[in-house]
Amino acid sequence: MFVRNPMANNLKKFVNPQFNDTVPPNLLYRLLERHPAAVAEIDMSLFDRDCSAARLAVLEYLRGPESFPDGLIADLHRVAELGTRQGLELLIQQFRRTNVAVLGGRAGAADPKEVALAALLDHPEIFDAAESIHALWQTTGMAELAGLEEGVEAQVTADTLSAFERSAGIIFEANLHGDYCKVETYEDGGDIVLVVSHGTPITTTTVVEGRTGRAVALQTIDQAILACASTGGRLKMAGVAKARRASLAEAFASCLLASPGFFQGPDARNLYTLLPIEREWLEFRMTHAFDRKIRSVRIVEAQVDRVSRDLFDEFDKVEWSILARDGKDCALARLRESRPEVEFESGDWRVGHVVLRVKIDVCRPSPASVTVKVKPQASATFKRHRFEAQIMDLLRRNGFCLDRDTNLTPVVAE
C-alpha cells in the first residue's frame, strides 16, 4: 500500500484506499489540520459538504506528484500500523494502564483505525507507548526478486495494464479470492508501482443484530503492491502471499516487460549475504561513517548454524544453531566470547542471520530507531515506509547486498 515519495527518499508516500475510505472523516480532517501545507492543497470545505468527495480529494492529493509534509505521511503510516487488531489490543492496554477512557468513554464497537487515529490526536503519550511495544513485536518486510538483467523498462499502457489485470484476476480467482481485480499504477522516480485491489476469501461470521446474532458471509477487498525499477532490475512485492509471488511476478514479466521468465533466473532470490562477517569474524565491525545521519549501528542479535554437507559436498544441512542477543553491546562479541569454537574456515559453521539496530538522526532530541533483520539469501526485513534508501545503502556498503557483477564476493566498504 506504499509507494516511494520522489521528494524524499527516506519516506514513503501513503496510498491506501481502504484506509482512506474507512477512517472517520472528522478525525481525518483533524489530522490534516496538523499539517498546513496539506490543508493548502486540499479543499477542506468538502468535509462539510460531501465526505465521499473529501476522501477522494485526500487520496488524489496523496498519490499525486506534489511534495508532501513529512509529518503527515509519517502520521498516516504510524496510524495504519497500529490500526489493526493487534494494535487495538495494545492501545486498550495503555488506555487502561493510564486510566483514560477509550474514545472518551463512548459505548459500542469501534474500528481499530479510529481508535489509533483518535489516540494519536488526543493522547499522543498513549499512542507512543503502544507504538513502542508494537515495534518490538513486528518487523515487516517485502519479497524481492532479481531479474535476468538491468535496464529493462516496463511498458505501461492501457493494453499491458489490462492484460496484467486479467492475469492477476485469474491468479486470485484460482485461490478462491473471487473474480474482482482492479489495477492502478503510479510512476515514482523511475519506479513503476502497481496497486492491485483484489477480493479476499469469503468469511462467514456472526454479526450483532439488536440483541441477537445473525450469520453473514463477507468478502472484503485487499491490496497487493508490486514495484519495479529498471535500474537494479528488481521487483518488490508487498501484501502478496508466498504461494502467489512467483505467479504474480511471472504475470508482471509477461505483460509489462514482454519477457516471460524474467524473474525466474537461478539468482532471482540470491540477494543478500553475510559472508563479510564470516570472512572477518574476529575483526568485523559495521561501518556507517559515510552517512552523517546515522548515529549508530549495533548488531543486537546473531545466529550461527552448525552445518554439514551432503555426499556431493553441495548441500548445507543445519545440524543445530546458537543464538545470541545483546541489547547494549554487540551480539557478535557475545558469541565470540562464549563460543570460541565457532570459526568459518573449515566450512562447518555459517552465520544464519543478524539483527541490526540502526539509530538515525531526525532533528529531534531522540533519534529514530530501525530494526533490520538480514537473512541470506533473500531477506532483508525492516519497516520500509521510512529510511529505506539509507538502510539499503548501509547494507550495500557493508557488503550484505549481492550485486550481479560481484560474482557473489562482496567486499566490505571502506
**Looking at the structure, do residues 122 and 149 belong to the same domain, yes or no?**
no
Residue 232 lies in a domain: yes
Residue 42 lies in a domain: yes
**Looking at the structure, do residues 87 and 162 belong to the same domain, yes or no?**
no
Last residue of a domain, one of 71, 102, 137: 137
**Looking at the structure, do residues 326 and 366 belong to the same domain, yes or no?**
yes
**Looking at the structure, do residues 211 and 281 belong to the same domain, yes or no?**
no
Residue 413 lies in a domain: no
Q: Is the pTM of this model over 0.85?
A: no
Q: Cα(14)–Cα(77) distance, rounded to whole angstroms? A: 7
Last residue of a domain, one of 105, 137, 169: 137
Q: Which domain holds residue 214?
A: 143-256
Scored b (16 or more CB within 10 A) or e, 398-412 reads bbbbbebeeeeebeb
Number of domains present in the structure of the chain: 3
Within 8 A by CB and 6+ apart from 353, the residues are 274, 301, 302, 303, 373, 374, 375, 376
Residue 220 lies in a domain: yes
Task: Give the CB-side neighbour count of residue 232, counting CA atoms within 13 A.
Answer: 16
Residue 94 lies in a domain: yes
CA distance readout (Å), 405 to 117, 235, 383, 409, 410: 47, 18, 28, 9, 10
Sheet of 316-325: strand order equals 316-325, 294-309, 349-360, 368-375, 379-381
> What is the three-state SS of the chain?
CCCECCCCCCEECCCCHHHHHHCCHHHHHHHHHCCHHHHCCCCCCHHHHCHHHHHHHHHHHHCCCCCCCHHHHHHHHHHHHHCCHHHHHHHHHHHHHCCCCHHHHCCCCCCHHHHHHHHHHHCHHHHHHHHHHHHHHCCCCCEEEECCCCCCCCCCCHHHHHHHHHHHHHHHHHCCCCCCEEEEEEEECCEEEEEEEEECCCEEEEEEECCEEEEEEECCEEEEEEEEECCCCEEEEECCCHHHHHHHHHHHHHHHCCCCCCCCCCCCCCCECCHHHHHCCCCCCCCCCCCCCEEEEEEEEEEEEEEEECCCCCCEEEEEEEEEECCCCCHHHHHHHHCCCCCCCCCCEEEEEEEEEEEECCCCCCCEEEEEEEECCCEEECCCCECHHHHHHHHHHCCCECCHHHCCCCCCCC
Task: Give the CB-side neighbour count of residue 266, counting CA atoms within 13 A.
Answer: 1
Residue 12 lies in a domain: no
Last residue of a domain, one of 137, 160, 178: 137
**Looking at the structure, do residues 395 and 287 belong to the same domain, yes or no?**
yes
Residue 90 lies in a domain: yes
pLDDT (tens place) for every residue of the chain, 414 residues total: 443 333 344 546 666 667 777 788 888 888 888 888 888 888 888 888 888 888 888 888 877 766 667 778 778 888 888 888 888 888 988 898 888 888 877 766 778 888 999 999 999 889 988 886 675 555 455 788 999 888 888 999 999 999 999 999 999 999 889 889 999 887 766 678 888 989 988 888 777 777 888 887 778 788 888 988 877 788 988 888 888 999 999 999 999 999 999 999 888 888 999 999 999 998 999 999 999 999 999 999 999 999 887 666 666 788 999 999 987 789 999 999 999 999 998 888 999 999 999 999 987 788 888 889 999 988 888 877 778 889 999 999 999 998 755 333 333 333
**Looking at the structure, do residues 85 and 149 belong to the same domain, yes or no?**
no
**Looking at the structure, do residues 192 and 315 belong to the same domain, yes or no?**
no
Q: And the C-alpha cell for 300?
A: 543486537
Q: Where on the phi/psi map is residue 41: left (φ > 0), alpha (ψ -120 to 50), or beta? A: alpha
**Looking at the structure, do residues 241 and 281 belong to the same domain, yes or no?**
no
Q: Output the CA angle 72-77-82, nearest 5 degrees.
A: 125
One-letter amino acid for residue 131 of the chain: E
**Looking at the structure, do residues 279 and 394 belong to the same domain, yes or no?**
yes
Residue 6 lies in a domain: no
**Looking at the structure, do residues 65 and 188 belong to the same domain, yes or no?**
no
**Looking at the structure, do residues 82 and 44 belong to the same domain, yes or no?**
yes
**Looking at the structure, do residues 346 and 401 belong to the same domain, yes or no?**
yes
